[in-house]
Structure 1
């Protein structure tokens, strides 16, 4: 059985945004945060159970909203868990409309963020969870 590794941040995103999600993952890691991304699920793990365990043990669920993420039932489910647990932080990657059930919460606009600029003001706000 695979032992569950404790992470600071659970990164929720649409597969169509995996490049930008990987940029965020690497940048947060470089800042010293431990970040869970679904690519980290061990081969022998039961995916759904492993994800639920991660969602229930992280300090923060960071949702990267995009037009595609808004349409993803998985991203919405993960965001709902974060809202319920009061550890949801979210960012907008492309200027999309945030789903109404989450629009009452502040989010950070990363649509103009450049991976190489870790001092971008909106990016730094993501780290203030």
Structure 2
């Protein structure tokens, strides 16, 4: 569990997942820490003010279609873990990974698809000049 003192979150994301423990373990591999967990949701933290909640799909409820279509949840990869490490861990866990690649808006990004199909983008400032 995370030891950071509680704070009011100005923004956060909730993702409805098929198996909260499986998803939390995957996110843990990427570098997220667990702040709180109960039978319904797992509160994860990437960094201060970068919180994510994994919410278990209620029993008997089936969601039609792909999860998170058109949405990419982004996190700064300027902390302790290099973007290459995050991408390598996701690849080792069997996740689809695009990147890291240089973007024309002066960032390097790796897009990772989680076990439920949500896309996460890990971003760091680019040191390369893209033309």
Q: Same fold (TM over 0.5)?
A: no
Q: Which has the larger radius of gyration?
A: 2
- TM-score scaled by length of structure 1: 0.28
- TM-score scaled by length of structure 2: 0.28
Identify, as 1 or 2, the structure richer in strand: 2
Structure with more relative contact order (C-alpha pairs < 8 Å, separation 6 or more): 1
